[in-house]
Amino acid sequence: MLIDVALPLSLAFIMFSLGFGLTFADFGRVLAMPRAALTGMVLQVIAVPLVAFGLLKLVNLPPALAFGVMILAFCPGGVTSNILTKLAGGNVALSITLTAIVSLLSVVTVPILVDWAAGAFLGEAAVQINVTGIAISMFAITAVPVLIGLLLRFVAKGFAERTESVISTIAVVLFVVIVIAALATNWQMFIDNIGRLGPLLIGMNALLLILGVLIARGVGLSGGDGLCISVEMGVQNAALGITVAGLVAKTGGIPEFAVPAALYGITMYVVTIPGMFVLRAIFGKT
């Protein structure tokens, strides 16, 4: 099917756009701001899945959708989190660093966690997860494009600065197309479960935003760092979630596991954009 080729290629371009906006100095910021970077990474890799798991215990979702929510929770922050962090008055440098590093870490963390979640939520109906195969596929369509974009910016900085906005625009368009395709492919399941799935995802998003700020303040980080971590926790890479769902299903096309990620790709902006202004008014930038 065309979607089986277009989906990974679209995600690869989106990840290339992420790398295209990075410099090697962005990775060095981990050493310059270790507490903020470590806090953000731990919260994204560990706290987000824990919050999703806890909420799923309170809501009766079909196993396939519950599994899809966990796939989404395992994904790193979205490529637009840097823009939203800037709008929120957060630490943009930290946001760029977290997005880049957690995206690269996801090549290892996502396949392992997805394998666990399949058994936990699908039970005997769980598909056989090829952890190594998913890791290799994720490396090819996420890490490699990021590194290519990073290297291209390094060797052709002027070209990168002139074309970055165009590349970013194309990436956003591709993201929208992926979300629409995932929902359209599983439209009936989406309609049947929107009443339960929608409130769960909206509630999870809001809770993650609040936890990000509160925990950051609890460990002594500034308001700007807290707002950044809040956005990074609340904005997930929905395109990656949809793609991973496809890698897991191995049936071709976009499976039902992808519905939560597709819906979250819409609701996360509805919640995060007003939410970050509320949090900024409460907690400030200092």
CB 16 within 8 A of CB 166: no
Mean pLDDT of 115-143: 85
- Cα angle: 213, vertex 95, 86; to 5 degrees: 80
Residues 13-48: tens digit of each pLDDT: 888 888 888 788 777 776 778 899 999 999 999 999
Dist CA 175 CA 59 (whole Å): 28
Count of Cβ atoms closer than 10 Å to residue 73 Cβ? 26
Residues 68-97: tens digit of each pLDDT: 999 999 999 877 888 888 888 888 888 888
Dist CA 121 CA 62 (whole Å): 9
CB 181 within 8 A of CB 5: no
CB 205 within 8 A of CB 267: yes
Is residue 253 pLDDT above 70, yes or no? no
Which pLDDT score, from 0 to 100, does residue 252 have? 66
Dist CA 169 CA 175 (whole Å): 10
Smallest Cα–Cα separation from 21: which of 194, 146, 110?
Answer: 146
Dist CA 271 CA 243 (whole Å): 23
Dist CA 107 CA 113 (whole Å): 11
| DSSP-derived secondary structure letter, 77 | B
Is residue 4 pLDDT above 70, yes or no? no
pTM: 0.88
CB 88 within 8 A of CB 280: yes
Reduce the secondary structure of 10-25 to three states and give it as a string. Answer: HHHHHHHHHHHCCCHH
Q: Where are the alpha helices (DSSP H) in 79-156?
A: 81-88, 92-122, 131-138, 144-155
> Left if phi > 0, otherwise alpha if psi is -120 to 50, otherwise beta: which for 253?
left
| Domains of the chain: residue spans and CATH | 2-277 (1.20.1530.20)
Residues 157-187: tens digit of each pLDDT: 888 888 988 988 888 888 888 888 888 887 8
pLDDT averaged over every residue in the chain: 86
In a 3-state reduction of DSSP, which class is residue 78? coil
Is residue 2 pLDDT above 70, yes or no? no
Query: In the structure encoding, which two tokens stand for residue 279, read together?
Result: 């949090």
